[in-house]
């Protein structure tokens, strides 16, 4: 299929998906604060499971995770293990109890459990800090997809994404977002599986990617991983199945991602949208099933993409490369520097692959885009942005144009679904937790709804700036958000549910200390020139959230035991939420304020 026909299909698929999302938002627009915050509390468990999966499987999962695994090999599996394990932890240990509180937001829970408006304000600050860090990765993902497939600048792509999110997040609130996310899950999972099945058939002859990952390469006695190990070693890379990170760093990153998942406010709020606690448990199970479909496919996608890239690009003549290389090059996401002027691409370890090149005007002698950082002391000539591996995979494998168009729609669905959830959490924290429950308790339901929409619009603007000036790869940026959630919310939520003695002084001290420590560590090593040889205990910024969590737990326990115990009514409330009522039947959700009076 010609490039023009493929481009037409991309516009068609993306346009239809956007029309679907906006139509759903208009159909299910929020008419009250309860609709806006928790979709009226009446979402069916299956629909809520799909929406939760879409909310949780962000651009990092869809676009970047397989790219990380593709480049890092075994070390990349820490993202897979951490995110999956974290969702299980959240679904089994925290979500049902949080749902039983019947509050609208995580700061609501913190304020009620720790009987303190100051605790609410600290929680709001944590929510905003975490959510803006997370949403930066999503907006960058939107920009990447738009820049390649719609052939616009990444910054223009971010602005277009902001416009779409503005329509269905501001208009529909949680109700509109929930049903939009159901549609987005269907789009993204179909877009992820179809090319994976195609490519698995091409490489292994097995149509099931999960099984193809463990099969032999077609026409060879080598397995997929053995083939990758051989190709990597021939080019001077370490074996794909070898790890380069220290064991302690892998452990800390995995743990930070795991407990960070359990503290993410935009995922937790999804369990407040079901009619009952029992339905919250059911929706958690459905979501885990829906998530597993993508997560069990990701390692196969990563390995197939790596094989195709190495076989297509390495030692090839630039002028003989297929059109997709120039397309991604023009989008600023691939680059070739012909250091020895032989017209062939040398792909080996080292720069400029390790750092994003700066493109300059003009073309080289072979027609390549010129970059400013043409290091001559290293053999590597190729830069590949790891965030494109999943998106470029269908083109590298020469799949039909409609599959490429489907991938474009899926990538946008993944980024937009999570961005909308995060922006809603930010707007809710401002309108409900700061205004209604703190600064302006006398405002009406209509005024609160207007404030929520204004806050969402402002948050979209800030999120767009974060996408235009991102601090790193999508998955890395998201890892920072998980670290911040792990070091701030997770201990407060866990101790709030399972430890009656935990009081407001301990929770506030723990949240503040954990957040400040983790944020300071990340900022120093990512933005202020800190080097890896200065890492504490060899732990990278992506994994420091685990240490921040430990500090939070320690400070919380010490402070709570040297200060006054919480009131008996609060301790009774904590005891009550862990005991099913009515002979073992899951209780109905409490009305707002009911828990505080328990």
Distances in Å between the Cα of 149 and the Cα atoms of 4, 110, 378, 408 are 12, 43, 32, 7
User: What percentage of the chain reaches a pLDDT higher than 70?
Assistant: 87
Distance CA 354, CA 380 (A): 10
Q: Report the predicted TM-score, pTM, of the whole model to 2 decimal places.
A: 0.78
pLDDT at 113 over 70: yes
Distance CA 528, CA 551 (A): 23
CB atoms within 10 A of CB 210: 15
Architecture of domain 3-305+399-477: Orthogonal Bundle (1.10)
Q: Tell me what pLDDT residue 330 has.
A: 78
Pick from 414, 165, 452: which is nearest to 291 by CA? Answer: 414
Secondary structure letter of residue 29 according to DSSP:
-
> Residues 256, 479: contact at Cβ < 8 Å?
yes
Q: Tell me what pLDDT residue 555 has.
A: 95
Q: How does pLDDT run across 128-178, given as a tens digit for each residue? A: 877 777 777 677 777 777 777 777 777 787 888 778 777 766 666 677 778
Write out the DSSP string of 316-362: -BGGGS-HHHHHHHHTTSEEE--TTSSSB----SSTTTTSPPPEEEE
Write out the DSSP string of 516-576: HHHHHHHHHHHHS---GGGSGGG--GGGHHHHHHHHHHHHHHHHHHSSPPPPHHHHHHHHH
Please confirm whether the linkage preceding 6 is cis (ω < 30° from 0): no
Q: Tell me what pLDDT residue 470 has.
A: 63
Q: Tell me what pLDDT residue 476 has.
A: 55
Distance CA 176, CA 29 (A): 5
Rounded to the nearest angstrom, the gap between the alpha carbon of residue 55 and the centroid of all alpha carbons in its chain is 8
| pLDDT grade for 596, boundaries at 50, 70 and 90 | very low
Residues in a beta bridge with 371: 359
Name the 3-class secondary structure at 379.
Answer: coil
List helix spans (H) across 57-170: 59, 66-72, 77-89, 95-101, 106-113, 117-149, 154-165
> Residues 124, 433: contact at Cβ < 8 Å?
yes
Ranges in the chain annotated CATH 1.10.4160: 3-305+399-477
User: What percentage of the chain reaches a pLDDT higher than 90?
Assistant: 7
Pick from 308, 276, 36: which is nearest to 168 by CA? Answer: 36
Once rounded to an integer, what is the mean pLDDT over residues 472-499? 77
Q: Which of 24-38, 70-84, 137-151, 554-568 has the lowest mean pLDDT?
A: 24-38
Here the tokens at position 357 are 């090149």
> Residues 392, 385: contact at Cβ < 8 Å?
no
* Residue predicted with more confidence, 508 or 276: 508
Residues in a beta bridge with 223: 216
Residues in the chain: 598
Report the mean per-residue pLDDT for the chain: 79
> Residues 394, 195: contact at Cβ < 8 Å?
yes
């Amino acid at each position: 299929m010609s490039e023009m026909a493929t481009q037409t299909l991309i516009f068609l698929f993306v346009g239809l998906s956007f029309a679907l999302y906006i139509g759903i938002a208009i159909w299910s627009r929020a008419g009250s604060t309860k609709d806006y915050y928790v979709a009226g509390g009446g979402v069916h468990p299956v629909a809520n499971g799909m929406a939760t999966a879409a909310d949780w499987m962000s651009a990092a999962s869809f676009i970047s995770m397989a790219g990380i695994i593709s480049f890092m090999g075994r070390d990349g599996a820490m993202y897979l293990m951490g995110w999956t394990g974290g969702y299980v932890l959240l679904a089994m240990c925290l979500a049902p109890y949080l749902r039983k509180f019947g509050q609208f937001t995580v700061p609501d829970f913190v304020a009620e459990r720790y009987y303190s408006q100051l605790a609410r304000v600290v929680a709001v600050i944590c929510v905003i800090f975490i959510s803006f860090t997370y949403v930066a990765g999503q907006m960058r993902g939107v920009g990447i997809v738009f820049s390649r497939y719609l052939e616009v600048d990444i910054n223009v792509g971010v602005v277009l994404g902001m416009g779409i999110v503005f329509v269905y997040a501001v208009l529909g609130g949680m109700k509109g977002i929930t049903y939009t996310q159901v549609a987005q899950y269907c789009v993204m999972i179909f877009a992820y599986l179809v090319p994976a099945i195609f490519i698995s058939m091409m490489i292994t002859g097995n149509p099931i990617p999960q099984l193809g990952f463990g099969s032999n390469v077609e026409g060879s006695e080598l397995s997929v991983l053995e083939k990758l190990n051989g190709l990597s070693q021939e080019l001077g890379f370490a074996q794909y199945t070898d790890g380069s990170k220290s064991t302690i760093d892998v452990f800390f990153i995995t743990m930070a991602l795991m407990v960070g998942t359990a503290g993410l406010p935009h995922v937790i709020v999804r369990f407040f949208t079901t009619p009952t606690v029992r339905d919250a448990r059911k929706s958690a199970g459905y979501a885990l099933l829906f998530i597993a479909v993508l997560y069990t496919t990701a390692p196969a996608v990563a390995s197939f993409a790596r094989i195709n890239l190495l076989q297509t690009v390495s030692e090839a003549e630039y002028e003989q490369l297929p059109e997709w290389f120039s397309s991604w090059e023009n989008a600023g996401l691939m680059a070739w520097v012909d250091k020895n002027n032989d017209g062939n691409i040398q792909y080996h370890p080292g720069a400029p692959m390790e750092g994003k090149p700066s493109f300059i005007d003009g073309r080289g002698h072979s027609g390549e885009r010129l970059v400013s950082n043409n290091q001559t002391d290293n053999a590597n000539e190729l830069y590949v942005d790891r965030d494109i591996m999943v998106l470029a995979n269908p083109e590298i494998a020469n799949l039909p144009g409609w599959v490429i168009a489907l991938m474009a729609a899926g990538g946008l669905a993944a980024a937009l679904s999570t961005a909308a959830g995060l922006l809603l959490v930010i707007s809710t924290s401002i309108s409900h937790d700061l205004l209604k429950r703190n600064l302006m308790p006398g405002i009406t339901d209509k005024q609160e709804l207007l404030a929520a929409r204004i806050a969402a619009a402002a948050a979209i603007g800030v999120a767009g700036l974060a996408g235009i000036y991102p601090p790193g790869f999508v998955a890395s940026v998201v890892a920072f958000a998980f670290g911040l959630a792990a070091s701030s919310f997770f201990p407060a939520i866990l101790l709030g549910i399972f430890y009656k003695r935990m009081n407001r002084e301990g929770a506030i001290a723990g949240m503040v200390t954990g957040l400040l420590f983790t944020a300071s560590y990340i900022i120093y090593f990512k933005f202020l020139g800190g080097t890896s040889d200065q890492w504490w205990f060899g732990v990278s910024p992506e994994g420091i959230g685990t240490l921040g969590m430990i500090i939070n737990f320690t400070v919380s326990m010490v402070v709570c035991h040297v200060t006054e115990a919480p009131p008996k009514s609060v301790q009774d409330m904590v005891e009550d939420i862990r005991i099913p009522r009515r002979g073992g039947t899951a209780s109905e959700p409490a009305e707002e304020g009911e828990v505080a009076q328990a």
